[in-house]
Amino acid sequence: AGSGSAAAATASAATGSVAAPTKAGKDYNVAFIQGVAGDEFYITMQCGIEAEAAKLGVTVNTQGGQKFDPTLQTPILDSVVASKPDAILIAPTDVTAMQRPLENAAAAGIKVVLVDTTTEDPSFAVSQVSSDNEGGGAAAFKAIKDKNPNGGKVLVISTDPGISTVDARVKGFEDAVGKDSTFDYLGVQYSHNDPATAAQLVTAALQKDPDIVGIFATNIFSAEGSSTGVKQAGKSDQMTIVGFDAGPNQVKALKDGTVQALVAQQPATIGTDGLDQAIASLDGGTITPKIQTGFTIITADNVDSSDAVYKSSC
Ligand code: T6T
C-alpha cells in the first residue's frame, strides 16, 4: 500500500464523538497491556480505562513490560491469552513482531482493541484508537519554524523504527521539513526509549553540528534525554526543543525554558474510547473500527491554562 491508502485510512477515521455503551451486558474481564510500565502516557490511559470500567461495570487488569520491547510484551500477552479474558486492550510494541501473537489472541475468541500503536495488518482487531500522529509530527515542525523563522539545522530523536506512532510522527515531520528549503534536515536518530542514550545522541550531534537550531523528540523519553543533552552542551539558549507528550517532567522543562513546545496527546480518551469499543463488540453494539483522537500544542503561552498534563498515578 502506498501513501495514498494511508491517507484514505486516516480520512476514514472517526474524529468526533463515537457511539459509546452506558452499561456492559455483564461484568466482563478486560486486560490492558501497556507499551511499557511506568510511562505517564500509559498511566493516564490506564486511569481513563479504569474510570470507564467503573461506569460500565466491568473489571480491568493492567500490565506492562519493564521496557518498550516486543520480546518482553509477547510473553505478557501470551499469559493474558491463557487466562481467557473477554477482551484485550493493547499498545503493540512493534508493527511486525506483535502481529502473530495478536492474531493468535483474536483467534482464541478474545476481542482485541489496539490503543495508541498498531501493527502492519490490524485486521484481527475490533477497533483501533490513536492520536493523529502524522499531524502531530507536522505540528512539531511548525512549532520549530515559529521559533526559527529563518530556518537552520534540525534533528529528530525517536525511539526505535517499527513503532507505528513514533514512525508516523517522524513521517509527518519529515514531509513538512522537506517542503521548506530554509531548513537543513539532519535526519532521525534512535534512542531505544532510553533518556541517557537520547542525551548522548544529542551531545554527539551538537559536537558535529554546533549550529543546530531545533530538535523534535518523538516521545517522553526522547524529549527528556534531548533536553539533558542540550543542557549539558550549554546550548539551551540557541535551541528549540519540541517534544511529543506532556508528562509532568516535560511540563516542568517547558516552564524552566529547556523545552519550547509540547505536543500533548489525549491518553485518557484513547483508553476510554478503546474500552467502549471492546464492550460494544462483546455486547453486539455499534463499533467504530478506527478512531483518531486529537492533540494540543502547549507552549509557555498556554501552559498554565492547559489541562492536558499527564498523570503519574490515578
Ligand atoms: O508517546 C507515547 C506513545 O504514544 C508512544 O507510542 C510511545 O511513547 C509514549 O508512551 C510516551 O513515552
pLDDT digits (tens, 9 = 90+) for 269-299: 999 999 999 999 999 999 999 999 999 999 9
Strand order of the β-sheet with 59-63 is 59-63, 29-33, 87-90, 111-115, 127-131, 290-293
What's the mean pLDDT in 196-212? Answer: 98
Residue 13: what pLDDT?
73
Q: Which atom of ligand 1 is nearest to the CA of 267?
A: 4
Please give the Cα distance from 78 to 244 (Å, whole number). 31
Q: Whose CA is nearest to atom 8 of ligand 1?
A: 219
Q: Residue 22 phi/psi, 5° resolution?
A: -100, -25
In a 3-state reduction of DSSP, which class is residue 168? Answer: helix
ipTM over 0.90: yes
Q: Which atom of ligand 1 is nearest to the CA of 244?
A: 1
Among 165, 169, 309, residue to substitute to test ligand 1 (most atoms within 8 Å of Cβ): 165
Q: Which atom of ligand 1 is nearest to the CA of 163?
A: 6
What is the whole-number distance in angstroms between the Cα of residue 53 and the centre of ligand 1?
23
**The pTM is what?**
0.95
What is the whole-number distance in angstroms between the Cα of residue 26 and the centre of ligand 1?
32
In a 3-state reduction of DSSP, which class is residue 293? Answer: strand
What's the mean pLDDT in 21-42? Answer: 97
Cell of 132: 493523529
Nearest by Cα to 266 from 311, 218, 230, 210: 311
Q: What is the mean pLDDT of the chain?
A: 94
Cell of 205: 550531534
CA-only gyration radius of the chain, Å: 19
User: Is 245 a pocket residue for ligand 1 (Cβ < 6 Å)?
Assistant: yes
DSSP 300: T
Residue 18: what pLDDT?
78
Q: Residue 297 phi/psi, 5° resolution?
A: -90, 120
pLDDT digits (tens, 9 = 90+) for 126-148: 999 999 999 999 999 999 999 99
* Helix ranges restricted to H, the chain: 3-11, 40-56, 70-82, 99-107, 133-147, 164-178, 195-208, 220-232, 248-256, 267-282
User: Is 132 a pocket residue for ligand 1 (Cβ < 6 Å)?
Assistant: no
Q: Whose CA is nearest to atom 10 of ligand 1?
A: 41
At residue 4 the predicted structure's pLDDT band, cuts being 50, 70 and 90, is very low
Residue 10: what pLDDT?
42
Residue 40: what pLDDT?
98
